[in-house]
Amino acid sequence: MAVLAGKVAVVTGGGIGIGFATARAFRAEGAKVFITGRRKEALDAAVAELGADVTGVVCDVSVSSELDALYQTVRDQAGRIDVLVANAGVGTVAPLGEATEEVIDSMLATNVKGTIFTLQQALPLLSANASVILTGSTATTRPNQGLEVYGASKAAIRNLARGWAHSSRTHGFRVNVVSPGATRTPGLLDLVTPEALEQAEGEVPLGRLAEPEEIAAVTTFLASDASSYVNGAEFFADGGSAQV
């Protein structure tokens, strides 16, 4: 039996990369899925590829009113949320001495504020024992040069999960973090040079970068009832790069 059969899932940043792979995995396991993205064209293409029982909603998670519109759509079409994946995030190279206010504000607005309000505004829709999954990063413990601000924003995600885990009894959800290492996504391929990618591969004990589907598999486990007693945890999917 499909492990997410009958469940309603929301995946922010679901139009590309890890979010898209997660939405596809959820759909394959029987869930009705809502995905968000900031670019309508990319979102429409993702929905067309994912097929039935997938709804795309244009939404910038850093804008509270757009999250309200997202959740109104979910309320009207499904009435509840069983799985919430706060995946939307941005990463920009910002070396010390060159980080601008605009770049810092953008990363913190999407990665931190956006994650907070993604969960907070979903609370009225969360079903009993809902699974909330936040996308972190190995940059929290091993930030590459130029990604210190990005790493700090993802460290905030880990801390939020620790704090929110204490709210599980009150609000009826459990919350965990999936922290990928370097993964072959459009965002990474646009961010670093081919030489840097080759170097990154050499630093991974498994000798390669992750594929988005491998991260999605971990998220699917946390979304399923098989992880019903997992709460406040961080799962690293990094080939060992931040572990040894």
- Higher-pLDDT residue of 135 and 186 is 135
Q: Which of 182, 199, 190 shows the shortest CA–CA distance to 236?
A: 182
Domain residue spans of the chain: 8-105+126-237
What pLDDT shows up at residue 224?
98
**pLDDT tens column, 45-71:** 999 999 989 999 999 999 999 999 999
What pLDDT shows up at residue 219?
98
* Beta strand extents in the chain (DSSP E only): 8-11, 32-37, 54-58, 81-86, 126-135, 173-180, 234-237
Residue 199 has pLDDT above 90, yes or no: no
> Mean of the pLDDT values across residues 176-188?
86
What pLDDT shows up at residue 4?
98
Helix 17-28, helix 212-223: angle, nearest 10: 50
Q: What is the mean pLDDT of the chain?
A: 94
Which residues are catalytic, by number? 150
**pLDDT tens column, 96-148:** 999 999 999 999 999 999 999 999 999 999 999 999 999 999 989 888 788 89
What pLDDT shows up at residue 202?
83
Residue 189 has pLDDT above 70, yes or no: no
Provide φ and ψ at 188, rounded to 5°: -70, -45
How confident is residue 201, by pLDDT bands cut at 50, 70 and 90? confident
- Are 211 and 184 a contacting pair, CB within 8 Å? yes
What pLDDT shows up at residue 187?
67
| Cα-based torsion angle of the residue sequence 63, 68, 73, 77 in order, rounded to the nearest 10 degrees | 140
Residue 188 has pLDDT above 70, yes or no: no
**pLDDT tens column, 1-46:** 799 999 999 999 999 999 999 999 999 999 999 999 999 999 999 9
Polymer length in residues for the chain: 244
Q: How far is Cα 117 from Cα 225, in angstroms, rounded to an integer? A: 25
Residue 192 has pLDDT above 70, yes or no: no
- Are 31 and 63 a contacting pair, CB within 8 Å? no
- How far is CA 153 from each of CA 27, 66, 160, 219, rounded to the nearest angstrom? 29, 21, 11, 20
How confident is residue 182, by pLDDT bands cut at 50, 70 and 90? confident
Q: Which two tokens stand for residue 127?
A: 């079903």
What CATH topology corresponds to 8-105+126-237?
A: Rossmann fold (3.40.50)
